A and B are shown apart, each in its own frame.
Chain A
Amino acid sequence: KAGVTQTPRYLIKTRGQQVTLSCSPISGHRSVSWYQQTPGQGLQFLFEYFSETQRNKGNFPGRFSGRQFSNSRSEMNVSTLELGDSALYLCASKTAGGGTDTQYFGPGTRLTVL
């Protein structure tokens, strides 16, 4: 089975622009979560989608949004980019989305904001 894939792997944007990152979960997985990893703040939970609905949300401003499609693929969008948005963005998927399911992480998208 193929793992979680994220595209693109690397991205460079300038302040004020917006960006869309994509995540394809493992086949059969219906839950997708997004995380931001920075040297300053560490690993932080952004949001989780399950069956096209946002199920949980972390403490991030409204500039960060996401969605999930009927095939479970997910996208996250960051509008009006700031320098502090430079980070590794990780996506993770799990099966039915239950509390005890194991999450599998993708390799991440490295976003640099200039």
Chain B
Amino acid sequence: AQSVTQPDIHITVSEGASLELRCNYSYGATPYLFWYVQSPGQGLQLLLKYFSGDTLVQGIKGFEAEFKRSQSSFNLRKPSVHWSDAAEYFCAVGAQSGGSYIPTFGRGTSLIVHP
């Protein structure tokens, strides 16, 4: 069975600083990988996804993530954080099934942005 670990429960950064959120996964085959963001009282919004090909993936809102198979990681990065980026971030791995996939989510990382 697949699993996802987000080692950091909370991360605090200053506005304008760079950001890296860590994600490690366990899955026996080629994974589908995702990063989602959730603001308070909202549903999830997809930031980016990886299925195959280029291991550096560009997403929305200036985010990017790099798939490293040797390290089973899919870390999310942003060069300069804005106050509006404060939210909960979830990494997920999708196990292919029935022509679609079954996602497993990490426990999330709460991002706090100081002015």
Chain A positions within 8 Å of B, measured between CB atoms, are 4, 31, 42-45, 48, 50, 55-56, 58, 90, 92, 97-100, 102-108
Q: Given A43-B90, A58-B102, A98-B100 in contact, is the A105-B43 Cβ separation under 8 Å?
A: yes
Choice from A4, A50, A104 contacting B100 with Cβ under 8 Å: A50
CB atoms of A106 and B100 under 8 A apart:
no
B35 at the interface (CB under 8 A from A): no
Chain B positions within 8 Å of A, measured between CB atoms, are 32, 36, 41-46, 49, 51, 90, 92, 94, 96-108
Chain B binding surface, main DSSP class: strand
CB atoms of A99 and B44 under 8 A apart:
no
A5 to chain B, nearest CB (A): 11
Q: List chain B residues, Cβ under 8 A from A50.
A: 99-100
Q: List chain B residues, Cβ under 8 A from A48.
A: 98, 100, 102
A-B contact pairs, 24 of them (CB 8 A): A4-B43, A42-B105, A42-B108, A43-B90, A44-B105, A45-B103, A48-B100, A55-B98, A56-B97, A56-B101, A58-B102, A92-B43, A98-B99, A98-B100, A99-B99, A99-B100, A99-B101, A100-B51, A102-B49, A105-B44, A106-B43, A107-B42, A107-B43, A108-B43
CB atoms of A56 and B102 under 8 A apart:
yes
A111 to chain B, nearest CB (A): 15
Q: CB-nearest residue of chain A relative to B36? A: A105
CB atoms of B100 and A56 under 8 A apart:
yes
CB atoms of A42 and B107 under 8 A apart:
yes
Distance of A100 Cα from B101 Cα, bound (Å) = 9
B71 to chain A, nearest CB (A): 23
B103 to chain A, nearest CB (A): 6
Choice from B96, B102, B106 contacting A45 with Cβ under 8 Å: B102
CB atoms of B98 and A56 under 8 A apart:
yes
Distance of A107 Cα from B40 Cα, bound (Å) = 10
Distance of A99 Cα from B36 Cα, bound (Å) = 17
Q: List chain A residues, Cβ under 8 A from B107.
A: 42
Q: Given A42-B107, A56-B98 in contact, is the A99-B43 Cβ separation under 8 Å?
A: no
